[in-house]
Amino acid sequence: MEPSLVVSLRDITWRRGKQPILTGVNWQIHPGEHWALIGRNGSGKTSLLNILTGYAWPTTGTVEVLGQAFGSVDLRELRKSIGWVSSSFLQELLSLRPTERTLDVVVSGKFASMGVYQQPSTKDRADAVTVLDWFGCSSLAGRLFASLSQGEKQRVLLARAWMGKPQLLILDEPCTGLDVPAREQVLGAIDTLAQQKDGPTLVYVTHHVEEVVPSFTHALVLNHGQVLACGRKNETLTGNTLTEAFSLPVEVSWQSGRPWLQVVSDTPVPRPLADRFS
């Protein structure tokens, strides 16, 4: 039975010592929605993800994910239904499994493990090839994962996450460090994944609003650990909201279903930089 809410965070506050990191966060994700989580560095995005996945416990408030209330569910079992693609996972994989073949990286997604520790079936390997092909990476199956380009690695990690058939997939700044062509390839794969009828609910975390592809329906903007705006993306990702979120005067234009940020032209140049070019 499909849960009525994929995510329900109610009145979430989290403190590290006496320092408030998140304050009064409310966030509900319904089936069929795909969300962008937007905020500058230090806004609380990572802390919110850690609470969402049970790696941090809120000081106050309640958390339900996929219909399961935290405090009365085995989080180890719940996490099998949650995929997470992040740069930290990529670095850990490269460090711990430097000689892993690409196909085995994808197969490991079925077992939610770092590496394959049991003999995969012929079907497991065939499924992994199919998923790689779906992300345009079938030709990479036999190569060392570490030898791939950054963009190829990210698409393979998307394939790995999809191999596990998660109900919720968190994409934590997956385009960090990519050039424009590689970024657009990864975003194209994400947009296609979001359109699949049997695909997961997506939460895409970034501070680059132009990465919010057309299939994303909603956005939550964090600022200093508080929800600045939350709702449908066209109503949330506005110039006024993002000006406050980034402490910089900006305008937003929409092209082909994607928002594009532009700094207002009369924004003063910081004095030390201006002096350099005077």
For residues 64 and 2, what is the distance between their CA atoms, to the nearest angstrom? 14
For residues 106 and 67, what is the distance between their CA atoms, to the nearest angstrom? 28
* 177-209 pLDDT, tens digit each: 889 998 998 899 899 889 888 889 999 999 999
Whether residue 187 lies inside any domain: the answer is yes
Whether residue 135 lies inside any domain: the answer is no
Whether the Cβ atoms of residue 227 and residue 13 lie closer than 8 Å to each other: no
Q: State the pLDDT at residue 153.
A: 92
Whether residue 31 lies inside any domain: the answer is yes
Token look-up 């990572």 returns 46
Closest CA relative to residue 261, chosen from 58, 1, 40 = 40
Q: State the pLDDT at residue 267.
A: 55
Mean pLDDT of 252-257: 94
Reported as a pLDDT band with limits 50, 70 and 90, residue 274 is: very low
Whether residue 271 lies inside any domain: the answer is yes
Burial annotation 133-153 (CB, 10 A radius, 16+ → b, else e) = ebbebbebbeeebbebebbbb
Q: Bigger pLDDT: 198 or 147?
A: 147
Percent of the chain with pLDDT over 90: 63
Whether residue 197 lies inside any domain: the answer is yes
- Token reading at 88: 């930290």
Q: Which CATH number do you get for residue 272?
A: 3.40.50.300
Q: How many domains does the chain have?
A: 1
Query: Three-class SS of residue 252?
Result: strand
Whether residue 111 lies inside any domain: the answer is no
DSSP 5: -
Whether residue 42 lies inside any domain: the answer is yes
Whether residue 100 lies inside any domain: the answer is no
Range of the domain at 179: 7-95+166-276
Query: Three-class SS of residue 140?
Result: helix
Mean pLDDT of 10-23: 93
CA 213-248-210 angle, to 5 degrees, is 10
* 85-116 pLDDT, tens digit each: 888 888 888 888 889 999 999 998 887 776 66
Q: State the pLDDT at residue 77.
A: 87
